[in-house]
Amino acid sequence: MKRLLARWVFPVDQPPIERGVVEIVDGVISDVAPLNGQPDADTTDLGDVAIIPGLVNAHAHLEFSSLDSPIEPALPFTGWIGRLLAHRRERTSSLSQFIHAGVREVATSGTSLVGDIVTGDWSPDCVPGDGASMVAFRELIGLLPDQSAAQLDLAKQHIADCRAVEKTEQRILLPAISPHAPYSVSPELFHELIDLARTEAVPLCIHLAETQAELQLLESGTGEFFDMLTRFDLWRDGTIPKGTRPMDYLQPLAKLPHALIAHGNYLADDEIDFLANRPNIATVFCPRTHAFFGHANHPWERLLDAGATVCIGTDGRSSNPDYSLWAELKFLARSSAADRMPQILDAGTLRGATALGQAKKTGTITLGKRADLTVISLNESTANDPWMALFATKSKPVTTIVMGSEIETPRS
């Protein structure tokens, strides 16, 4: 048994607890309460820190962990994609090394659960046996009709491979699938993958409403995506019916238990209304990637106010300087009204766990859940308000606890 005492405990499903104690038995939370009297011999006083639920990064591309800085220039978007593909072709280390480094960075920066998009010759062996838990989304790409069967087989094999690991090893690695985007997956393949996600009960993620160029391709079959796809000989007349909108992709997602749309930067009003009534479809906002591409304001506050599920991701180091979800939350808190702070922490923990189908097991500091916790140093913040102290300029993760085991973060 372990009892951890903190200046503040943020359970997320209840208000912050001053001088709170979290008790852990066998990797599971067995109690959370204010300190009663003096700390006993079993209680470790962590001092001037907050304990929050382990952070959940709902959208990452860990294969880009070796990049020191984002790939520039960011625009035009199809040019950026070209540079990304060139990087993938030219890098020399093994995919396994990139994933190991990515998982390590995620775990040492406060994240206990990550939704990673996996590609190429990824296999469960690429993932280290410790560190953050992972939901592995197999990326699927196929715009031409003759590509669909192989992609469907790949998806099925991925689900089987991850499930085989689940049964044999002491780590959490769960399968999921990701039809990449409307400009890279035919509507037919998209629907087949939705059926697969429903049958297999796995989460499904699609990049959607990410750029105005994507909306233009769907609406009229023109623009920079048309040019790129024509160049690669991937575009055929009628591949996507004219007048298609993100709504046409949202509607089929409604029948899934756990669907994620990455970005959703350009959702229309009726699409936001649609998501408001469908908490099973989460929008993953990636704040610093959003800023990198210079997009128009993200509708995350409108989505939240409407009652939709919003969670947070880092995306890849290809568009972001690191994989720190805490840096995303602080970036967002800095530019938000004070009353948004509880929602920002909720988005970075419980909503991420919800989107990844793990809310029963993690995402809040609640009796019976896994002891997935992040210890945040408050660095002597003088703020009396717990939220101001939590999101103060100098606050930072110092320890990540995954299933009761501690992972130290770098001290620098």
Each residue 84-123 as x (binds Zn ion by CB under 5 A) or -, in order, gives ----------------------------------------
Number of chain residues interacting with Zn ion (CB under 5 A): 2
| Three-class secondary structure of residue 218 per DSSP | helix
What are the structure tokens assigned to 178, written together? 């990701």
Of residues 51 and 262, the one with the C-beta less far from Zn ion: 262
Q: Of 170, 161, 251, whose CA–CA distance to 200 is shortest?
A: 161
Compute the least distance from the CB of residue 56 to Zn ion, in Å: 16
Is beta strand 2-9 parallel, antiparallel or unpaired with respect to 17-25? Answer: antiparallel
Of residues 171 and 263, the one with the C-beta less far from Zn ion: 263
Of residues 8 and 137, the one with the C-beta less far from Zn ion: 137
Each residue 238-267 as x (binds Zn ion by CB under 5 A) or -, in order, gives ------------------------x-----
Cα dihedral sign for 70, 72, 77, 83? negative
Compute the least distance from the CB of residue 116 to Zn ion, in Å: 10
Of residues 2 and 331, the one with the C-beta less far from Zn ion: 331
Contact in structure between 402 and 172 (CB atoms under 8 Å): no
Each residue 27-56 as x (binds Zn ion by CB under 5 A) or -, in order, gives ------------------------------
H or E element, residue 269: helix 269-276
Angle 156-161-167 from CA coordinates, rounded to 5°: 125
What are the structure tokens assigned to 243, written together? 């007048």
Compute the least distance from the CB of residue 59 to Zn ion, in Å: 6
Compute the least distance from the CB of residue 149 to Zn ion, in Å: 25
Would residue 9 be called left, alpha or beta, if left means φ above 0 and alpha means ψ between -120 and 50 degrees? Answer: beta
Is beta strand 173-179 parallel, antiparallel or unpaired with respect to 133-140? Answer: parallel
Compute the least distance from the CB of residue 286 to Zn ion, in Å: 7
Helical H runs in 62-211? Answer: 77-90, 95-108, 148-168, 187-200
Compute the least distance from the CB of residue 250 to Zn ion, in Å: 17
75/325 Cα distance (integer angstroms) = 24
Of residues 274 and 293, the one with the C-beta less far from Zn ion: 293
> Rule CB under 5 A: which of 262-321 touch Zn ion?
262, 315
Of residues 118 and 407, the one with the C-beta less far from Zn ion: 118
Compute the least distance from the CB of residue 141 to Zn ion, in Å: 13
Q: Which amino acid is at 298?
A: H
Q: Of 137, 119, 139, 122, whose CA–CA distance to 179 is shortest?
A: 139
Compute the least distance from the CB of residue 289 to Zn ion, in Å: 8
Of residues 290 and 340, the one with the C-beta less far from Zn ion: 290
What are the structure tokens assigned to 13, written together? 């499903």
Cα dihedral sign for 260, 343, 287, 98? negative
Of residues 208 and 392, the one with the C-beta less far from Zn ion: 208
119/391 Cα distance (integer angstroms) = 35
Instruction: Give me the residues that bind Zn ion (CB under 5 A), please.
Output: 262, 315
